[in-house]
A and B are shown apart, each in its own frame.
Chain A
Amino acid sequence: MSLRPLTTPWFHGPAGHEKIWLGCAILWCFVMSLMMPYWHFRGKQNSTGEAYTVKPADFFARTEKFVASNRVGTFKNPIANALMTELPIVEPPAGGDAYLMGRMWQWYPALRLRKGETYRLHLSSLDLQHGFSLQPLNMNFQVLPGYDHVLTLTPTSTGEFTIVCNEFCGAGHHAMTGKIFVE
């Protein structure tokens, strides 16, 4: 009985249907446990959490240097009340490093990438936490101030992609966007 103390011996091993279910459930948990290491070695999409500590001012300097030496154009931002109405478009060398900085409320700069090339994309924040959410692909990563979060990324489709912020960062959060163009 569920509501009164048990006074008769109650220890029994599982039997019958219960045993069948227990077996299925354990097996399923085992399959799920194996899927993650399997994908880690065989799958192409993984979050390894590669990161280095960095002072926001240093990350800002690296980004500015990256923009100055790789700028290829200008993007006119159509978003109302965005922090910047114009963004530099920057193309990192294939296989090279790209820097993307989040701050209230802008992803900076805009990037131009080549399909099939691999880049090391450095993400960090100058102020609060932000969320890197690449749309319409729907790939999401956390961005923290003080951490240089490195994604080794290979675009496999072309077009215009929008980076949305998906970690709350104040009143302009919904308008915090950025751009990645893939050719």
Chain B
Amino acid sequence: MSHPSHSLSAPGAPGRVCGTTGLSVCFAAQRFIKLNAVSGIVFLLLGGIAALLLALTRWQTVHLLPVDWFYRILTFHGINMLILWILFFEVAILYFACTTPLNCRLFSRKIAWASFGMMLTGAVMVDYIILAGRADVMMTSYLPLLAHPLFYLGIILVAVGTLTGVFNFFATLYVAKRDGAYTGSMPIVTFGALAAAIIAVVTLLHGAVVMIPTFTYSMGWTAQPDPAWYRLIWWGLGHQSQQVNVCAMVAVWYLLSHITVGARPINEAVCRTAFVLYILFINLASAHHLLVDPGVGATWKIWNTSYAMYLAVLASMIHGFTVPAGVELAMREKGYTNGIFGWVTALPWRNPAFSGTALSLVIFGFLGGITGVTLGTQQINIIAHNTLRIPGHFHVTVVGGTTLAFMALAYYVIPLIFQRDFIFRGVARVQPWLFGIGITMVAFGMSFAGSMGVPRRSWDIDAQGVYGPAAHLWLGVLGMGGILAFTGLLIFALLCVGTLFFGAKIEGRAMADWGTPPALAGSQPGSLAHDHYATKGTIVLTLAFLACFAVYYFANWKALADVWPVR
């Protein structure tokens, strides 16, 4: 046998041709996309059950869990959601992005097994030791809090496993390029995934630097690392990993807006530059977790959060324009040209992959982006640090943004990779709305309670005697939103798992269509390629966004100016 070609169109290549898209799918990649995606969804469900318990405890009137279980479940929720669900699903996305779009096969099955094995072992270790009550330290495990060594070891294993998967991704890209599996430049989806993978490497190295000495300390082998040093390096892991999520989410936006309405990036050069900005600048933004810490000076804080972070913010503002602009352009080319917003009403709102993408973009941009940049402003952080405003912010980025985008993706991944059509398609159509509206309520409840000073990570708000009826009301909104969001999450998990067992098989035929807007008579694809003023709706929307941003931003400066002078 000759040296096997890595191209999937080579004769005898271990793959198949997709009956829906006509693209080739590598069998090895397909297997590991399945394994990683399903594991991710299982951890999402575990984290979701924890979420419901937490929401029903912070809803002060219900106050469900006893104190020790509240902190245990909070630790469990943070780890299962932010680390396990997100990482497993992202590895699945990486395996997809480096094979099918480039028409090539996965570099190594053995490495993929090693990666998956380490991640799963680590995950089981961490979950076990948390539920056993030996690691009530929150996912941040700030020293001198100390967990059982298995907790740190489990996290290290998950991180190394992920790095191994990322290596497989890089190797696949390298071999594809070397063997000429494709010609031209890699598509934007792969490019976005590549940016995510590069940031992931830097992130996970920070993780190693901070977790290994903490593990050896927990074994009694070395002295305790300094708590301030720990915070600095830990956030090199904790914050940058969020940028991995943003990159992956944006890549999914490009992918799904293309699949559901035929959008294309309006300017490849600008979109790609924005991804590069993420890679270059985001690591410095970890500083915004230390804005009211002792021992780090004002200059350091301002430099890292302004110049550096805002170039990454700029990147998000670019994608926030180019993704809807691509959609608008595609719709106008299909003939939906009425007025400024006529195309919006014609969008496939009943297609869950589309509604999930659109909600993800709006929730992430309007709510997550605006709150994040404002809370991360050096001085404004004084009136926000460690209050519920912080989880209020990240439940609209990594949950309403990333998680919802990943859910939307599953509505195509499962039919295309597992080759089964979804069961209960009518229920699937409302799922993104339920989850999106629920999590928005959670975030509003948290943010408003937080502006009234309610702390995050606190079992009770009556003992202190300072929080009034308004704070209790907003915690009620959090609780009710939590029930809605949990229902959305549960439906998602049940639909996915149910489909794996009971969905109608689609071998050799196209998947059932979720609904895409048809081109109207007389319309012409590509007709607006050279009209740079065709995206009227998008420019109006983004300018409205900027106005909201400015109002929220300056209102917070005003609120800051009202508290005691402090230096």
Binding site for B on A (CB under 8 A): 1-8, 10-22, 24-26, 28-30, 32-33, 35-37, 39-40, 43-51, 78-80, 123, 127-129, 131, 133, 135-149, 151-157, 162, 164-171, 173-175, 177
The residue in A3, A137, A147 that gathers the most chain B C-beta atoms within 10 A of its C-beta is A3
Least Cβ–Cβ distance between B475 and chain A, in angstroms: 13
Least Cβ–Cβ distance between B372 and chain A, in angstroms: 12
Least Cβ–Cβ distance between B364 and chain A, in angstroms: 16
Binding site for A on B (CB under 8 A): 21, 23, 67-68, 71, 100-102, 136, 138, 142-145, 182-189, 226-228, 231, 254-255, 257-259, 263-270, 290-298, 301-302, 305-307, 310-311, 313-314, 317-318, 321-322, 325, 373, 377-379, 381-387, 451-453, 455-461, 463-467, 531-536, 538-539, 542-543, 546, 549-550, 553, 557, 560-561, 563-567
Contact A47 B383 (CB under 8 A): no
Contact A137 B563 (CB under 8 A): yes
Q: Which residues of A contact B143 (CB under 8 A)?
A: 129
Q: Which residues of A contact B456 (CB under 8 A)?
A: 166
A4 to B465 CA separation, bound complex (whole angstroms): 60
The 6 closest A-B pairs by CB, nearest first: A16-B532, A51-B294, A149-B294, A166-B455, A7-B184, A2-B258
- Apart from the given pairs A17-B538, A30-B310, A144-B294, 7 other A-B contacts in the complex at a CB distance below 8 Å: A6-B187, A11-B268, A32-B306, A46-B298, A49-B301, A139-B383, A145-B227
Q: Which residues of B contact A135 (CB under 8 A)?
A: 453, 464, 466-467
Q: Which residues of B contact A79 (CB under 8 A)?
A: 463-465
How many residue pairs, one in A and one in B, have C-beta atoms under 8 Å apart?
309
Contact B549 A28 (CB under 8 A): yes
Q: Which residues of A contact B567 (CB under 8 A)?
A: 46, 48, 50, 151-152
Contact B377 A3 (CB under 8 A): no
Q: Which residues of A contact B385 (CB under 8 A)?
A: 131, 140-142, 166
Contact B565 A33 (CB under 8 A): no
Contact A28 B183 (CB under 8 A): no
Contact A7 B183 (CB under 8 A): yes
Contact B295 A45 (CB under 8 A): no
Contact B298 A156 (CB under 8 A): no
Nearest A-chain residue to B265, judged by Cβ: A2
Contact B563 A45 (CB under 8 A): yes
Contact B144 A127 (CB under 8 A): yes
Contact B68 A164 (CB under 8 A): no
Q: Which residues of B contact A166 (CB under 8 A)?
A: 385-387, 455-458
Q: List 18 A-B contacts (CB under 8 A).
A: A24-B542, A25-B317, A29-B310, A30-B310, A33-B307, A36-B302, A47-B291, A47-B298, A47-B566, A49-B301, A129-B144, A135-B464, A138-B383, A139-B563, A153-B564, A167-B457, A174-B463, A177-B464
Contact B379 A18 (CB under 8 A): no
Contact B255 A16 (CB under 8 A): no
Least Cβ–Cβ distance between A100 and chain B, in angstroms: 13
Contact A1 B187 (CB under 8 A): yes
Contact B269 A12 (CB under 8 A): yes
Q: Which residues of B contact A40 (CB under 8 A)?
A: 298, 302, 378-379
Contact A139 B296 (CB under 8 A): no
A140 to B386 CA separation, bound complex (whole angstroms): 8
Least Cβ–Cβ distance between B370 and chain A, in angstroms: 11
Contact A139 B382 (CB under 8 A): yes
Tell me which of A28, A139, A153 contacts B546 (CB under 8 A): A28
Contact A36 B459 (CB under 8 A): no
Contact B311 A4 (CB under 8 A): no
Q: Which residues of A contact B381 (CB under 8 A)?
A: 47, 140
Contact A5 B297 (CB under 8 A): no
Least Cβ–Cβ distance between A167 and chain B, in angstroms: 6
Q: Which residues of B contact A39 (CB under 8 A)?
A: 378-379, 557
Q: Which residues of B contact A6 (CB under 8 A)?
A: 184-187, 268
Q: Which residues of B contact A28 (CB under 8 A)?
A: 317, 546, 549-550
Contact A162 B458 (CB under 8 A): no
A168 to B456 CA separation, bound complex (whole angstroms): 9
Tell me which of B227, B268, B566 contacts A144 (CB under 8 A): B227
Nearest B-chain residue to A129, judged by Cβ: B142
Tell me which of A5, A50, A137, A139 contacts B183 (CB under 8 A): A5
Contact B546 A157 (CB under 8 A): no
Q: Which residues of B contact A162 (CB under 8 A)?
A: 464-466
A63 to B360 CA separation, bound complex (whole angstroms): 51
Contact A153 B565 (CB under 8 A): yes
Q: Which residues of B contact A46 (CB under 8 A)?
A: 298, 378-379, 566-567
A10-B185, A29-B314 known; A20 and B539 CB under 8 Å?
A: yes
A131 to B227 CA separation, bound complex (whole angstroms): 14
Q: Which residues of A contact B453 (CB under 8 A)?
A: 133, 135-138, 164
Contact A156 B564 (CB under 8 A): yes
Contact B226 A138 (CB under 8 A): no
A51 to B71 CA separation, bound complex (whole angstroms): 30
Least Cβ–Cβ distance between B454 and chain A, in angstroms: 9
Q: Which residues of A contact B187 (CB under 8 A)?
A: 1-6
The residue in A30, A141, A145 that gathers the most chain B C-beta atoms within 10 A of its C-beta is A141
Contact A47 B465 (CB under 8 A): no
Nearest B-chain residue to A34, judged by Cβ: B306
Q: Which residues of A contact B563 (CB under 8 A)?
A: 45, 137-139
Tell me which of A17, A80, A131, A174 contacts B386 (CB under 8 A): A131
A1 to B191 CA separation, bound complex (whole angstroms): 13
Least Cβ–Cβ distance between A97 and chain B, in angstroms: 14
Least Cβ–Cβ distance between B252 and chain A, in angstroms: 11
Q: Which residues of A contact B311 (CB under 8 A)?
A: 29
The residue in B298, B451, B546 that gathers the most chain A C-beta atoms within 10 A of its C-beta is B298
Q: Which residues of A contact B293 (CB under 8 A)?
A: 49, 142, 144
Least Cβ–Cβ distance between A6 and chain B, in angstroms: 5
The residue in A8, A141, A168, A175 that gathers the most chain B C-beta atoms within 10 A of its C-beta is A168
The residue in B71, B297, B382, B458 that gathers the most chain A C-beta atoms within 10 A of its C-beta is B458
Nearest B-chain residue to A26, judged by Cβ: B314
A79 to B462 CA separation, bound complex (whole angstroms): 10
Least Cβ–Cβ distance between A106 and chain B, in angstroms: 13
Q: Which residues of A contact B305 (CB under 8 A)?
A: 36
Least Cβ–Cβ distance between A115 and chain B, in angstroms: 10
A33-B306, A153-B564, A174-B458 known; A3 and B23 CB under 8 Å?
A: yes
Tell me which of A37, A144, A155 contacts B564 (CB under 8 A): A155
Contact A146 B314 (CB under 8 A): no
Nearest A-chain residue to B532, judged by Cβ: A16
Nearest A-chain residue to B533, judged by Cβ: A16
Q: Which residues of A contact B268 (CB under 8 A)?
A: 6, 10-12
Nearest B-chain residue to A14, judged by Cβ: B270
